[in-house]
């Protein structure tokens, strides 16, 4: 474990995110006097870095834990003490810390010092307030040290998102998320709420009954408001049987008014859960967009990450979806999976190009503490996974060759290579819900175990309401989940 000590409880999240971006292999803990009240022993661990805030300056001390030893001290003499506690002060501190880490490592990060924020949200907000693209570029460059390539990407996507979202009902509309927390098995990299369908098969009906109760309550609360998009995700929704899928969507469409719905997505997901009968249920119910997600087209990696299907099954599932009639199919891939090289990524892109999906979502691997991959990396070393500019470039070039353009982008904590996730699509086949969940411009009401409802108020303020993650608890406490939504959404 690597320890960074700070003498003040201040900006711990941003400090952790920035240091981890420069030192991704570290198991980093940021300690303050307040954070070690219950366990003072951890404070005695020798730190690799320290932050000292006082009245005159901030000192960032990097201890060189090598044979030569020694320390390097970076100093920021605060010229605007009266701004302490403001966003301007925080931004100035992050610029100081970033430049110190940059000097210490000799590295520059593609997204500069941006932490905990969606880059396209900055660009879109500035453009909506009448700023020019050059104003946006200058801000991202000067305030956040973002690279020219990422500046262009962010502005390009922000412009496209504005156009795509122009038909939505922000003030009198909402979107709906339905969570199905079951999967055939849990993938190595996954940290989402999911339960093995084989073990929970006997309680799926109870889960759907609870979901139906929550649907009815939400439809009543949201009465008079326009439903713009619907997304069924998970987990793996297609782990349900054809009969269970039919029950779910029949209830959904009986309870909610779909007359204004612009997009109805079901994340069909893993090839080992997709059958022609299930696809026909989805198509018959008017699902407009589905995902068939390989993550990689390399057999060895599929086995390593716990995907219980083959490349051939991915291709079969894709062609089944085309045969049934779907004309808007997305595929997901993950870059930086354990052991994969640039050539492996190139082979995956070539295999997907041969299928010609309508959109491609390129994820940069994010290692979550709750995932099996976190333990795998501890056992095998951080060099076992790595995303690079080369692999990101291979994926981007492949998407362009398929006639796709980038339409949404987001970043995650602990993302391999400090890169991003990008959605590419051919014209007219964009995933509207994907943009909404990232840009937080419309209320999204989320149903099911582990889901989080986000209400967007006029002016941009956001409040959330969580559903319990445990399936049994969700079923037993569904009344409580409904009451939570009433409190959050009741004044809509």
Q: Cα separation of 118 and 343, whole Å?
A: 30
- Residue 11 Rama label (left phi>0; alpha psi -120 to 50; beta): left
Other CB atoms within 10 Å distance of the CB of residue 387: 23
Report the mean per-residue pLDDT for the chain. 89
Highest mean pLDDT among 214-223, 231-240, 333-342: 214-223
Query: How confident is the model at residue 235, as a pLDDT?
Result: 85
What pTM was estimated for this model as a whole? 0.88
Position 487 confidence tier, pLDDT thresholds 50, 70, 90: very high
DSSP 8-state assignment for residue 68: S
Q: Is the CA virtual torsion 17, 18, 22, 28 positive or negative?
A: negative
Q: Is the peptide bond between 235 and the residue preceding it cis, with omega within 30 degrees of 0?
A: yes
Do residues 177 and 445 make contact, with C-beta atoms less than 8 angstroms apart? yes
Query: How confident is the model at residue 256, as a pLDDT?
Result: 98
Query: How confident is the model at residue 37, as a pLDDT?
Result: 75
Q: 267, 233, 279: which is closest to 448 by C-alpha?
A: 233
185: pLDDT strictly greater than 70? no
Position 36 confidence tier, pLDDT thresholds 50, 70, 90: confident
Position 386 confidence tier, pLDDT thresholds 50, 70, 90: low
For residue 306, give both structure tokens.
Answer: 């716990």
66: pLDDT strictly greater than 70? no
420: pLDDT strictly greater than 70? yes
Position 102 confidence tier, pLDDT thresholds 50, 70, 90: very high
Query: How confident is the model at residue 378, as a pLDDT?
Result: 62
The pLDDT tens digits of the residues spanning 160-172 come to: 999 999 999 988 9
Query: What is the C-alpha radius of gyration for the chain, rounded to an integer number of angstroms?
Result: 24
Report the pLDDT averaged over residues 83-87.
Answer: 78
Residue 147's Cβ-side half-sphere holds a number of Cα atoms within 13 Å equal to 11
Query: How confident is the model at residue 283, as a pLDDT?
Result: 98
> Which is more confident, 183 or 317?
317
Report the pLDDT averaged over residues 308-331.
Answer: 95
| DSSP string over 279-343 | HHHHHHTT--EEEE--B-S-HHHHHHTT--S-HHHHHHHHHHHHHHT---EEEEEEET-TT--HH
Task: Tell me the domain boundaries of the chain.
Answer: 1-106, 168-484
Report the pLDDT averaged over residues 214-242.
Answer: 95
- Residue 101, Cβ density class (10 Å: 0-12 exposed, 13-18 middle, ≥19 buried): buried
What is the dihedral angle through the alpha carbons of 426, 432, 433, 435, rounded to the nearest 10 degrees? 90
Query: How confident is the model at residue 230, as a pLDDT?
Result: 98
374: pLDDT strictly greater than 60? no
Distances (CA, A) of 244 to 232, 257, 485: 13, 21, 25
Q: Cα separation of 483 and 465, whole Å?
A: 10
Task: Please list, in sequence order, all residues whose beta carbon lies within 8 angstroms of the beta carbon of residue 6, skipping any fewer than 6 positions away.
Answer: 12, 15, 30, 31, 32, 50, 51, 52, 53
> Which is more confident, 68 or 265?
265
Q: Cα separation of 321 and 271, whole Å?
A: 11
| DSSP string over 375-411 | HHHHHH-GGG----HHHHHHHHHHHHHTT-EEEEEE-
Query: How confident is the model at residue 364, as a pLDDT?
Result: 86
Position 43 confidence tier, pLDDT thresholds 50, 70, 90: confident
Query: How confident is the model at residue 93, as a pLDDT?
Result: 94
| Rounded to 5°, angle at Cα 102 from 386 and 132 | 90
Query: How confident is the model at residue 19, as a pLDDT?
Result: 94
Q: Which CATH number fits domain 168-484: 1.10.1740, 3.20.20, 3.30.1300, 1.25.40?
A: 3.20.20
Position 278 confidence tier, pLDDT thresholds 50, 70, 90: very high
154: pLDDT strictly greater than 90? yes
Between strands 444-447 and 462-466, the pairing is unpaired
Position 81 confidence tier, pLDDT thresholds 50, 70, 90: low
Query: How confident is the model at residue 373, as a pLDDT?
Result: 60
Residue 139's Cβ-side half-sphere holds a number of Cα atoms within 13 Å equal to 18
CATH T-level assignment (fold) for domain 1-106: Double Stranded RNA Binding Domain (3.30.160)
Highest mean pLDDT among 29-38, 114-123, 402-411: 402-411
Report the pLDDT averaged over residues 255-264.
Answer: 98
Q: Cα separation of 445 and 179, whole Å?
A: 11
Query: How confident is the model at residue 24, as a pLDDT?
Result: 81
Do residues 95 and 143 make contact, with C-beta atoms less than 8 angstroms apart? yes
Query: How confident is the model at residue 145, as a pLDDT?
Result: 96
Do residues 321 and 292 make contact, with C-beta atoms less than 8 angstroms apart? yes
Provide, rounded to the nearest whole percent, the portion of the chain with pLDDT above 70: 89
Q: 366, 361, 23, 16: which is closest to 191 by C-alpha?
A: 366
380: pLDDT strictly greater than 70? no
Provide, rounded to the nearest whole percent, the portion of the chain with pLDDT above 90: 69
């Amino acid at each position: 474990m690597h320890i960074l000590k700070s003498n003040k409880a201040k900006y711990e999240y941003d400090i952790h995110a920035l240091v981890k971006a420069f030192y991704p292999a570290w198991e980093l803990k940021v300690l303050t006097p307040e954070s070690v009240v219950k366990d003072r022993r951890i404070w005695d661990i020798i730190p690799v870095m320290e932050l000292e805030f006082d009245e005159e300056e901030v000192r960032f001390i990097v201890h060189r834990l090598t044979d030569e030893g020694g320390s390097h001290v970076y100093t920021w003499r605060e010229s605007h003490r009266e701004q302490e506690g403001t966003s301007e002060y925080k931004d100035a501190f992050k610029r100081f810390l970033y430049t110190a880490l940059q000097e210490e490592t000799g590295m520059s990060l593609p997204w500069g010092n941006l932490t905990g924020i969606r880059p396209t949200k900055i660009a879109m907000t500035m453009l909506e307030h009448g700023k020019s693209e050059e104003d946006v570029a200058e801000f991202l460059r000067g305030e956040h040290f973002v690279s020219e390539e990422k500046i262009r990407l962010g502005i390009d996507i922000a412009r496209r998102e504005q156009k795509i979202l122009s038909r939505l009902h922000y003030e009198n509309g909402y979107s709906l998320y339905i969570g199905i927390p079951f999967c055939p098995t849990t993938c190595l990299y996954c940290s989402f709420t999911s339960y093995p369908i084989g073990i929970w098969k006997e309680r799926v009906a109870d889960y759907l009954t609870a979901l139906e109760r929550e649907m009815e309550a939400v439809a009543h609360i949201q009465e008079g408001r326009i439903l713009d998009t619907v997304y069924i995700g998970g987990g793996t929704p297609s782990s349900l049987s054809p009969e269970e899928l039919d029950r779910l969507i029949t209830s959904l469409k009986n309870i909610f008014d779909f007359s204004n719905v612009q997009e109805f997505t079901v994340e069909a997901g893993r090839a080992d859960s997709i059958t022609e009968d299930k696809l026909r249920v989805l198509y018959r119910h008017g699902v407009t967009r589905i995902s068939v997600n390989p993550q990689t087209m390399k057999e060895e990696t599929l086995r390593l990450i716990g995907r219980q299907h083959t490349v051939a099954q991915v291709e079969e599932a894709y062609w089944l979806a085309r045969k049934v009639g779907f004309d808007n199919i997305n595929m997901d891939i993950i870059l930086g999976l354990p052991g994969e090289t640039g050539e492996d990524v190139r082979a995956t892109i070539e295999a997907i190009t041969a299928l010609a999906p309508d959109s491609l979502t390129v994820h940069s691997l994010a290692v979550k503490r709750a995932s099996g991959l976190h333990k795998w990396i501890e056992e095998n070393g951080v060099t076992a996974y790595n995303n690079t500019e080369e692999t990101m470039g291979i994926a981007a070039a492949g998407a362009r060759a398929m006639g796709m353009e980038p339409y949404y982008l987001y970043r995650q904590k602990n993302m391999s290579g400090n890169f991003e996730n990008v959605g590419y699509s051919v014209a007219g086949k964009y995933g509207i819900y994907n943009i909404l969940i990232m840009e937080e411009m419309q209320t999204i009401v989320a149903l099911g175990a582990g889901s989080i409802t986000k209400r967007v108020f006029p002016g941009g303020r956001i409040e959330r309401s969580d559903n319990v993650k445990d399936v049994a608890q969700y079923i037993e406490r569904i009344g409580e989940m409904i009451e939570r939504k009433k409190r959050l959404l009741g004044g809509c």
